[in-house]
Amino acid sequence: MNLLGKILALDDDASFLAELKTALEPDFSVRTVTTIPDALSAINHHRPDVLLLDMNMPEATGLQVLKVVKLRTADLPVIMLTGESKSELIVSAIQSGASDYVVKGSDDFLLGLKLRISGILAMKGMKQQNEALLSKVREAESKYEIKGISAISVRQRSEISRYKGTNAYVLILGENGTGKELVARNLNLQEGKPTRPFIAVNCGAIPSNLFESELFGHTKGSFTGAVGDQVGKFVAANGGDIFLDEIGEMPLEMQVKLLRVLQEKIVSPVGSNKSIHVDVRVIAATNRKLEELVQEGKFRQDLFFRLNQITLRTSALRERPDDILYLAKIFANKNLPGIGFSKETQEALEKHSWPGNIRELANTIERACLLVRGTGVTKILPEHLMLTDLGPAPGVSFPGYLLQRRPDEVTKNQYQRCVDWVQRTFIEKSLEMLGGDNNELIQRLGISRSSYYQRKKELGVSKEQEMSTL
């Protein structure tokens, strides 16, 4: 028996109900009642999917019963069963909330009734599916909401909304931990299509020999370890968005193949001669300066231009200080509702440089909440943050290009550039604080005069900061 739904039938004619039950039960679960009180009780306790209601009842008219039912359960579909085909009765029934009607005694009565019940159940199923999808969308929108009260955050949300409805490729630039994937997901979500795919790929985590297989798929036996066919990320993202994070880490040979896909909108799985058409919006992101990589020959210029149809930039947390405490309170309430911050903690949060940006802030607050949990403490204290610094020295900003980003940048020259910058900055800052007194600095550092001046010359320390003490 294929039960498509629960049907409740109300009619004062018991013999008619028995015949109706026999005719419908191969397809539906049918319960029958002959009185209005029994019908209302069944509706309350058994929650039918569809009510079949006779138009003429001895206790009250079918329209009167319909109005009572709709007052109690407005969303219950009702099909009126009538022995008459008068248009005014039918109009009155529909206006009172009936979903449909069927004329008793007609040649196609049972067939028409089954079709109407099936149609209502199908629509109800679609509605439930749509509600489930909308619920998931609302949950995703809440999860991926870009939070912040600073002017920069407000401007970023506004800028993202400008690109709703466009399939132009997007390049997102910004430091690690600034929410580049968050921006990408908002571009996807704002299209308002619950089934629109969003496929995220971390280009920095894929071995170079597996790039083509991951992005475009492969067939069984196409290489060692290919034990079955695999759908590539581009095919999985068809009709939606693919997010290529850390695009600057993609090998040059793969960049050529990606450019071809972007131009022709066709992918070919590894080991297959079959071409698959894909309609995908590419959203790429990187924390690196692609223009410099292009000049160094490490990133194709034509691919850079192709990806750079729209550019969005995420800002470092230090550039929007108004967001620090605001976000910290959100993270704290999520991990430990009701927890507060001491005044000293707030000052420490605002002074910290946050090199890891929002990701570092979220992790710091989560760790602090774990330390506080169960102790009875009502406020997070500075020691719970476990911060290693209170922010950069005034007027000093460490240049990001000095820190290595890839294994091939771990070199003696890169190390020396970093050491030289630190030494030069230390000497210049010290001279500024000591009024340019070289003798005082030499004494404090405990080095020879000749070594000191030789090192200053090598580092190119500004002459303007010196005070003649010789």
Would you place residue 61 in the very low, low, confident or very high pLDDT band (cuts 50, 70, 90)?
A: confident
Would you place residue 393 in the very low, low, confident or very high pLDDT band (cuts 50, 70, 90)?
A: low
Q: What is the DSSP string of 187-232?
A: HHHTT--TT--EEEEEGGGS-GGGHHHHHHEE-TTSSTT--S-EE-
Beta strands 230-231 and 217-218 are antiparallel
Which percentage of the chain shows pLDDT scores above 70?
89
**CA–CA separation, 62 and 109 (whole Å):** 19
Would you place residue 173 in the very low, low, confident or very high pLDDT band (cuts 50, 70, 90)?
A: very high
Domains of the chain: 6-128 (3.40.50.2300), 156-313 (3.40.50.300), 318-385 (1.10.8.60), 400-465 (no CATH)
**CA–CA separation, 351 and 332 (whole Å):** 18
- What pLDDT does residue 138 have? 59
Q: Indicate whether 312 pLDDT > 50.
A: yes
Average pLDDT over residues 248-267: 94
**CA–CA separation, 357 and 211 (whole Å):** 29
H or E element: which one contains 31? strand 29-33
- What pLDDT does residue 130 have? 62
Average pLDDT over residues 65-88: 87
Q: Which of 24-33, 392-401, 429-438 has the highest mean pLDDT?
A: 24-33
- What pLDDT does residue 237 have? 95
Would you place residue 377 in the very low, low, confident or very high pLDDT band (cuts 50, 70, 90)?
A: confident
For residue 266, give both structure tokens. Answer: 């066709």
Query: Which one, of 195, 201, 171, lies nearest residue 183 by Cα?
Result: 171
- What pLDDT does residue 92 have? 84
By the 8 A CB rule, do 34 and 40 touch?
no
By the 8 A CB rule, do 332 and 345 touch?
no
By the 8 A CB rule, do 66 and 52 touch?
no
> Which pTM value belongs to this model?
0.57
Ramachandran category for residue 101: left, alpha or beta (phi over 0 → left; psi -120 to 50 → alpha): beta
**CA–CA separation, 130 and 403 (whole Å):** 49
Phi, psi angle pair for 115, to nearest 5° = -65, -40
CB atoms within 10 A of CB 222: 16
Which has more confidence, 200 or 139? 200
Q: Indicate whether 401 pLDDT > 70.
A: no
Would you place residue 443 in the very low, low, confident or very high pLDDT band (cuts 50, 70, 90)?
A: confident
**CA–CA separation, 321 and 351 (whole Å):** 9
Q: Indicate whether 88 pLDDT > 90.
A: no
**CA–CA separation, 427 and 445 (whole Å):** 10
Q: Indicate whether 52 pLDDT > 70.
A: yes
By the 8 A CB rule, do 75 and 66 touch?
no
As to burial, measured by CB atoms within 10 angstroms (0-12 exposed, 13-18 middle, 19+ buried), residue 109 is: middle
Query: Which one, of 166, 160, 165, 126, lies nearest residue 141 by Cα?
Result: 160
Would you place residue 347 in the very low, low, confident or very high pLDDT band (cuts 50, 70, 90)?
A: very high
Q: What is the 3-state secondary structure (H, E, C) of 231-280?
A: ECHHHHCCCCEEEEECHHHCCHHHHHHHHHHHHHCEECCECCCCCEECCC
Average pLDDT over residues 397-425: 75
Using CA atoms, how far residue 468 sits from 298, 438, 444, in Å, is 48, 8, 17
Strand partners, 80: 53, 101
Would you place residue 58 in the very low, low, confident or very high pLDDT band (cuts 50, 70, 90)?
A: confident
Average pLDDT over residues 99-116: 86
Q: Indicate whether 136 pLDDT > 70.
A: no
Q: Indicate whether 142 pLDDT > 70.
A: no
Would you place residue 3 in the very low, low, confident or very high pLDDT band (cuts 50, 70, 90)?
A: very low
**CA–CA separation, 255 and 70 (whole Å):** 62
Using CA atoms, how far residue 143 sits from 182, 329, 357, 448, in Å, is 9, 16, 18, 60
- What pLDDT does residue 457 have? 85
Tell me, what amino acid is at 454? Q
H or E element: which one contains 102? strand 100-103
Q: State the chain's mean pLDDT as an integer.
A: 86
Query: Which one, of 163, 155, 150, 151, lies nearest residue 189 by Cα?
Result: 163
- What pLDDT does residue 313 have? 95
Which has more confidence, 38 or 4? 38
Q: Indicate whether 106 pLDDT > 60.
A: yes
CB atoms within 10 A of CB 258: 25
